[in-house]
């Protein structure tokens, strides 16, 4: 997250999470995907301290995904249950935002290992594998929920992950194309289906641009 090492960030957060429960904005604020527009990082959006807010709800999950010394698979069942729970409430959105933070963190760690030349290391492989597992949670939920606002929020997350604006996400945009495209058969709303089509096209074009840049770099 910017220049802050994950191990340092983890130590700071674990020391302070218990006393941090306030949410920025009005009470409806948390009922959305909260990380859009956060720039390259994924813990805070303006004055909305998203990670601090979610740590008390999912301390075990964050203790695993934020610790670079951990290679264990985090327990995703509590987040999956919350994301798919009915009636839809804040817990659904909290789960989605926690999943997003975990995905961006693990994706960044895997890319950092790759850039360090460790494409066969346990750290690189483990981070990529766990990040992919996290993407599967909102993908599954999309087909099991009927609430339009929550479906929109899930698409907001996939759109954010595919935008390439978060640190280390530009090269991994392509992994989202088939995932997002497979949401289309689950969607009956014409406007939301059109959004999925547009997002798939954007992902395809972004991934192609990354590949072209990579080929140009290898030919120099």
**HSE (side-chain half, CA atoms, 13 Å) at 23:** 14
Report whether the peptide linkage leading into residue 168 is cis, meaning its omega lies within 30 degrees of zero.
no
Show the tokens assigned to 185. Answer: 């058969």
Main-chain phi, psi angles of 21, to 5 degrees: -130, 0
What distance in Å separates the CA atoms of residue 68 and residue 73, rounded to the nearest whole number?
Answer: 13
Coil, helix or strand for 182? coil
User: Is the full-model pTM beyond 0.95?
Assistant: no
Burial of 193 (0-12, 13-18, 19+ CB in 10 A): middle
Question: What is the pLDDT at residue 75?
Answer: 94
Helices (H) and strands (E) in the chain, counts: 9, 0
Please give the distance of CA 57 from its chain centroid, rounded to a whole number: 17
pLDDT of residue 96: 98
pLDDT of residue 220: 57
Using 50 as the pLDDT threshold, list the residues of the chain that sit under it.
1-28, 119-121
Task: Determine the 3-state secondary structure of 150 from DSSP.
Answer: helix
Cα 63 from Cα 93, distance rounded (Å): 20
For the chain, the structural domain boundaries read 6-219
Distances (CA, A) of 193 to 151, 183, 184, 216: 11, 9, 6, 35
Q: Please, are residues 166 and 160 in contact by the beta-carbon 8 Å criterion?
A: yes
Q: Please give the distance of CA 181 from its chain centroid, rounded to a whole number.
A: 17
């Amino acid at each position: 997250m910017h220049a802050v090492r994950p191990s340092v960030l983890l130590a700071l957060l674990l020391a302070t999470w218990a006393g941090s429960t306030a949410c920025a904005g009005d009470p409806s604020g948390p009922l959305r995907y909260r990380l859009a527009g956060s720039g390259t990082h994924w813990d805070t959006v303006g004055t909305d301290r998203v990670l601090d807010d979610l740590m008390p709800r999912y301390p075990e999950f964050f203790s695993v995904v934020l610790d670079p010394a951990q290679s264990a698979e985090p327990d995703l069942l509590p987040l999956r249950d919350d994301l798919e729970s009915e009636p839809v409430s804040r817990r659904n959105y909290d789960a989605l935002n926690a999943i997003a933070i975990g995905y961006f963190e693990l994706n960044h760690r895997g890319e950092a290992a790759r850039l360090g030349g460790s494409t066969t290391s346990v750290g690189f492989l483990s981070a990529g594998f766990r990040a992919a597992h996290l993407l599967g949670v909102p993908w599954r939920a999309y087909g099991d929920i009927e609430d339009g606002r929550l479906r929109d929020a899930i698409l907001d997350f996939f759109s954010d992950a595919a935008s390439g604006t978060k640190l280390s996400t530009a090269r991994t945009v392509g992994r989202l194309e088939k995932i997002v495209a497979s949401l289309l058969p689950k969607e009956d709303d014409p406007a939301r289906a059109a959004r999925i089509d547009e997002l798939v096209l954007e992902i395809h074009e972004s991934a192609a641009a990354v590949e072209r840049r990579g080929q140009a770099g290898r030919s120099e």
